[in-house]
Amino acid sequence: MDPKDFHKKYIKAELEALEKDMVILTDEVGKEIGKASKLESHIKGGLLHKAFSLLLFNVDGELLLQQRAACKITFPLLWSNTVCSHPLYVESERYSIDGVFRAVIRRTRFELGLDLPSVISKQFHIATLLYSAGTRDGFCEKELDYIICAVVKGDSSGIVDFSVINKEEVKELRWISRTKLEEEIKESPDMFSPWFKLLFSSFLNDKWKELGVSEESFEKWKVDGIIKMSK
């Protein structure tokens, strides 16, 4: 297939998913106020909705980064956190932080082909960010973003399996140290998604540096209330 045809095909498929999938509309303190399609919630200024960002670490303290696929409608080929998506407006994902955890598991399996519960002991909700940003193509992000951390049990060498990742979602995966990530964001900021740069500079870098990475330290990472960010 010609690369241009491939791109058009999966742009169309993603648009269809954007119109079909319903996200959870929320107010600024996390109270559900309705539902809207992913497409509707990301255009014309956006509608505030629930989202999540998974930060998956290994025992060496490295973070698994994802490079978004070229055929993504928004922010193609940019590097970002392990998985970022939305809880859907379905019974199993609408209520409490457990619903967000279920969405994390579902989406990690869909994008990375990874059964998250089999490689971690627990998910940790460490912060909630109120975030907004626009793109040049008219799409925007307006999200109440639940930051979820987890650490891989034991050897992480088999986590990155390019034979099972969803090529329509993910181009590349890599583990990175905090110092290397800090250096890359400083030298090449345009390589990274806007929400991940904000997350790193406003919260992640300091917690990672000061407290390290472990299930015990994630308890100390936790921030009460909502952190407001904007680009």
- % of the chain beyond a pLDDT of 70: 89
pLDDT digits (tens, 9 = 90+) for 140-152: 788 999 999 999 9
How confident is the model at residue 136, as a pLDDT?
Answer: 58
The count of other CB atoms within 10 Å of the CB of residue 156 is 18
Q: Is 81 exposed, middle or buried (0-12, 13-18, 19+ CB in 10 A)?
A: buried
DSSP per-residue string spanning 91-138: HHHHSHHHHHHHHHHHHHHHHH---GGGTBS--EEEEEEEEEEE-TTS
pLDDT digits (tens, 9 = 90+) for 191-219: 999 889 999 998 899 999 999 999 999 99
Q: Is 149 exposed, middle or buried (0-12, 13-18, 19+ CB in 10 A)?
A: buried
- With tokens 């060498």, the residue in question is 157
How confident is the model at residue 46, as a pLDDT?
Answer: 84
pLDDT at position 96 over 60 = yes
Question: Is 140 among the residues known to form the active site?
Answer: no
3-state secondary structure of 194: helix
Are 149 and 57 spatial neighbours (Cβ–Cβ below 8 Å)? yes
What's the whole-number average pLDDT of the chain?
89
Question: Is 111 among the residues known to form the active site?
Answer: no
| Catalytic annotation, pick one of 14, 71, 84, 169 | 84
6 pLDDT tier (thresholds 50, 70, 90):
very low
CATH of 3-228, one of 3.10.520.10, 3.20.20.70, 3.90.79.10, 3.40.50.300: 3.90.79.10
How confident is the model at residue 10, as a pLDDT?
Answer: 45
How confident is the model at residue 45, as a pLDDT?
Answer: 77
| Catalytic annotation, pick one of 62, 93, 143, 169 | 143
How confident is the model at residue 12, as a pLDDT?
Answer: 61
